[in-house]
Chain A
Amino acid sequence: MQKRTVLISAAAFAVIAATTNTWAQAHPQSKLKVGFMLPATGTFASLGTAIDNGFRLYVAEQGGKIAGREVEYVRVDDESDPSKATDNVNKLIKRDNVDVIVGTVHSGVAMAMAKAAKESGTLLIVPNAGAAAVTGAMCAPNIFRSSFSNWQPGYAMGEVAAKKGHKRIVTITWKYAAGDEAVKGFKESFEKNGGTVVKELNLPFPNVEFQALLTEIAATKPDAVFTFFAGGGAVKFVKDYAAAGLKKNIPLYGSGFLTDGTLEAQGADADGLLTTLHYADNLNSKRDQNFRLAYAKTYKLQPDVYAVQGYDAGQILGIGLNATKGDAKNIQGFAQAVRAAKIDSPRGTFTISKNHNPVQDIYLRKVVGKENVMDSIASKALADPGLGCKM
């Protein structure tokens, strides 16, 4: 008896679910469900908030609607935990039936999301995670990235270092995907321009005991050092580098995250450091100033690179859906429109490559006080090679 009741209600539920589903497809004017899968707790929580804020700012500027459809948000905290990522993303795809997924910060989690999105065909816009594979081996017509690939800032810095006349360079990073990819990009362009990477130093993620490797650097006496660290590790590395007396003898170059969101803690030890990234604190363009003003007004916070990436995730969604008249299932039409678009971002105009990563200017920035001040454009319209992408 009881079993039968369960069966009947399950069947009824399935019928209702199926009908609502077709109804949603048949009426593009229904609400657009955006699924945020972002960190709300843990180390990356503040990054998740910035992305969320940026995205909502864009939607608010469009009057709360994208392609005529009102936007409804569903949030899942991904906890930056790759082991929970598949479950979490399936909640959005299967339970909440979202039209588009926006996320995330952590590369390992983003990989699981890309896999699930590739299988289900749901639109995915990655607003931070720089892992090469997202727009490389894992690439798909429905997967886009509004941020960067780890390779891009590294590659741009390689050109800068070679132009400054450095010949022998030591690299140091955590032994994990983001660090490896940044160093790979750096090495590629630095050696192409006549330099040599004489030593690649690594330590296990997330170790922060740098003293032994700093001693190695001092013993090698290179012309300069290139590094990729982020968050707490970046703070400690910059401070230890200065405390070991290396800063005044061997110039330090880094991928931009070395000095993003960390300057308050690094203090004077970061002064004058050169880093490369697709955003800087004083781009002085009208577009950027308007964005910063609107963001500060809405959230009583200063925007950062993550807010820009969230905002641009919104722009990509807007461009694609406007072309398909709000139909999130028309992947081909969506992708075509996004690839053809010039995206008017606060970071400067960028386009989307055929493997769906931004083709963008990478800025050389210098730390002055508490800001990453734009020095020059290190690499113009730089495109990630997207190795392994078959699309």
Chain B
Amino acid sequence: MDFATFLIQCLNALQYGLLLFLVASGLTLIFGIMGVINLAHGSFYMIGAYMAYALAPAVSAIFGGEFFSTLAVGLVLSVILGYVLEWAFFSYLYEREHLQQVLMTYGLILVFEELRSMLVGDDVHGVTVPEWLNGSFALNEVMSYPVYRLFMSGVCLLLAIGMWFVFTRTRLGMMIRAGTSNREMVQSLGIDITLLYRIVFAIGVALAVFAGMIAAPVSSVYPGMGNSVLIICFVVVVIGGIGSIKGALLAALLIGLVDTFGNVLLPQAAGVLVYVLMALILLWRPNGLFKD
């Protein structure tokens, strides 16, 4: 591998890592900070991608502007979806055993997959990116890099900084973190913990949907796409240390690096390298890289 190729691979690794963080960010909130084992995270991601595809024609007819107005409408819908789901199902789960959370969220996967099949069908679809993001620039004489991938990386970075700021530097973040350590105590201090959790959950769902919408033009939209990201998302959260946003970002970048170079240098083992990494890190630090 010559130096130029090495640099391009580093760029690939960085970009993939940031994308992983984006996809896992919703899970960091719901599983990491709120402590609910949410297997339906992949379904929320899938819903996002299908929204980017299916809402686009209607949205551009009503509001104009293709991709970004769809994004905005999708976000609003997903916050509502998250709010309703928390009210109807998840609010009963906080005090229950983990197994019951697993069962219910697994049930949600089946329900969402079936709904998807009924509403949109089982075909593969593509999502087009807005014109000004559609270009690419040359890296060398054969290869070029799509602008949209850089745009995604930028979005991921902004999101990481934003989440970190909200959770460690604001009053809202403090209340949420306090809520995870002791629900009753927070409540007795006069904070409406039920409402707070409902909002955080809705934001978590919105993040997963947002990730699906942003990734849709690159990943394409297809049945079962949620399941393919679910496991890697849990790996990101667990390696990073449950509840740590900084940790999740670092973990995502590490996985991006291992996966990219693993695919090139050790293709026979590429499928397991990420899990080997997870095992090693957990042996070294059983609570993940960062644990508050």
Asked if A212 contacts B260 (CB within 8 A), the reply is yes
A161 to B182 Cα, complex, angstroms? 66
* A-contacting 9-mer, from B25-33, B94-102, B136-144: B136-144
Question: Closest residue to A240 on the B side, CB-wise?
Answer: B218
Given contacts A201-B267, A204-B270, A245-B136, contact A265 B126 (CB under 8 A): yes
Stretch at the interface among A29-37, A85-93, A228-236, A277-285: A228-236
A235-251 CB mask vs B (1 if < 8 Å, else 0) is 11001100111100110
Nearest-CB residue, chain A, relative to B273: A204
In this complex, the interface size class of chain A, counting residues with CB under 8 Å from chain B, is: 35 or more
Q: How far is the CA of A208 from the CA of B225 in the complex (A)?
A: 10
Question: Once the chains bind, are A236 and B220 in contact (CB under 8 Å)?
Answer: yes
Contact in complex: A266, B126 (CB < 8 Å): yes
Assess A218 versus B142: contact at CB under 8 Å? Given A45-B122, A203-B267: yes
- CB–CB A219/B1 < 8 A: yes
Task: Tell me if A262 counts as interface (CB < 8 A to partner B).
Answer: yes
Distance in angstroms from B255 CB to nearest chain A CB is: 11
| Least distance between B214 CB and chain A CB atoms (Å) | 15
- In the bound complex, residues from chain B placing their C-beta under 8 Å from that of A239 are 126, 218, 220
Contact A244:B143 (CB < 8 A) given known A232-B124, A264-B123, A265-B221: yes
CB of A388 within 8 Å of the partner chain: no
Provide the B239-268 mask, 1 if CB < 8 A to any CB of A, else 0: 000000000000000000001110110010
The reply to whether the CB of B107 lies closer than 8 angstroms to some CB of chain A is: no
Nearest chain A residue, comparing its CB with the CB of B217: A239
A232→B117 contact, CB < 8 A? no
Tell me if B222 is interfacial: C-beta within 8 Å of chain A.
yes
Q: Is A212 within 8 A of B9, CB to CB?
A: yes
Query: Are A265 and B146 in contact, CB atoms less than 8 angstroms apart?
Result: no
Q: Is A326 an interface residue (CB 8 A)?
A: no
A21 at the binding interface (Cβ < 8 Å): no
Contact of B144 among A208, A213, A221, A244 (CB under 8 A): A244
Confirm or deny: B125 has a beta carbon within 8 angstroms of a beta carbon on chain A.
Answer: yes
Cα distance, A246 to B136, chains bound together (Å): 12
Collect the chain A residues with CB atoms within 8 Å of residue B123's CB. 46, 261, 264-265
In the assembled complex, the Cα of A46 lies from the Cα of B13 at a distance in Å of 35
Closest to B2 in A: A219
CA distance A270 to B285 in the complex (A): 47
A265 B125 Cβ-Cβ under 8 A: yes
Contact partner of A236 (CB less than 8 A), chosen from B114, B219, B223, is B219
Residue contact A245 to B142, C-beta cutoff 8 Å: yes
- Which residues from A are CB-within-8-Å of B124? 231-232, 234-235, 261-262, 264-265
Answer whether residue B286 sits at the interface, using C-beta atoms and an 8 A cutoff.
Answer: no
Asked whether any CB of chain B lies closer than 8 Å to the CB of A120, the reply is no
Q: Determine how close the nearest CB of chain A comes to the CB of B122; give it in whole angstroms.
A: 4
Number of interchain pairs (Cβ within 8 Å): 125
Per-position 1/0 for A202-215, Cβ under 8 A of B: 11101111011111
What CA separation (Å) do A373 and B117 show in the bound complex?
A: 29
CB of A19 closer than 8 Å to a CB of B: no
Measured CA separation A278–B257 after assembly (Å): 41
Of the listed residues A43, A232, A235, A240, the one surrounded by the most CB atoms of chain B closer than 10 A to its CB is A232
The range of chain B's interface size is 35 or more
Q: Considering the complex, which residues of chain A in the window 131-189 have a beta carbon less than 8 Å from any beta carbon of chain B?
A: 175
**How far apart are the CA atoms of A219 and B6 in the complex, in Å?**
10
Interchain nearest-CB distance for A260 vs B (Å)? 11
Question: Given that A42-B223, A201-B267, A215-B12 are known contacts, is A264 also in contact with B125, CB under 8 Å in the complex?
Answer: yes
Given contacts A211-B15, A211-B16, contact A43 B223 (CB under 8 A): yes
B146 touches A244 (CB 8 A): yes
- Bound complex: CA A265 to CA B126 (Å): 4
CB pair B263 A219 closer than 8 Å: no
| Cα(A262)–Cα(B126), bound, Å | 9
Would you call A369 an interface residue if the criterion is a C-beta within 8 Å of the partner chain's C-beta atoms?
A: no
| Least Cβ–Cβ distance between B211 and chain A, in angstroms | 15
Pick the most buried of A204, A212, A232, A266: most chain B CB atoms within 10 A of its CB: A212
A72 within 8 A of B: no
Closest to B256 in A: A209
Question: Nearest-CB distance from A230 to chain B (Å)?
Answer: 10
List, in ascending order, chain B residues with CB within 8 A of A70's CB.
none
Interface mask (A253-290 → B, CB under 8 Å = 1, otherwise 0): 00000000110111100000000000000000000000
Once the chains are docked, how many angstroms separate the CA of A234 from the CA of B124? 10
User: How far is it, in angstroms, between the C-alpha of A213 and the C-alpha of B260 when the chains are bound?
Assistant: 8
Please state if B220 and A235 are interface contacts (CB–CB under 8 Å): yes
Q: What residues of A have a CB within 8 angstroms of the CB of B65 in the complex?
A: none
Interface centre among B9, B122, B140, B271, by most chain A C-beta atoms within 10 angstroms, is B122
Would you give the shortest CB distance from A68 to chain B, in whole angstroms? 37
Residues of B within 8 A of A214 (CB): 143
- Min CB distance, A273 to chain B, in Å? 15
Q: Is A216 located at the chain interface by the 8 A CB criterion?
A: yes
B51 nearest CB across to chain A (Å):
16
Give the residues in chain B near A216, CB-CB below 8 Å: 5, 264
- B188 at interface, CB cutoff 8 A: no
Residue pair A235, B144 in contact (C-beta under 8 Å): no
**Further contacts, 8 of them, CB under 8 A, given A212-B12, A212-B13:** A41-B114, A212-B16, A213-B264, A239-B218, A244-B143, A264-B123, A265-B123, A265-B125
Chain A residues with CB under 8 Å of chain B are 41-43, 45-46, 175, 201-204, 206-209, 211-216, 218-219, 221, 231-232, 234-236, 239-240, 243-246, 249-250, 261-262, 264-267
25 A-B pairs with CB atoms under 8 Å apart are A41-B114, A42-B223, A45-B117, A45-B122, A175-B270, A175-B271, A209-B16, A211-B16, A211-B260, A212-B264, A213-B263, A215-B264, A219-B1, A231-B222, A236-B218, A236-B219, A243-B146, A244-B144, A244-B145, A245-B143, A261-B124, A262-B124, A265-B124, A265-B125, A265-B126
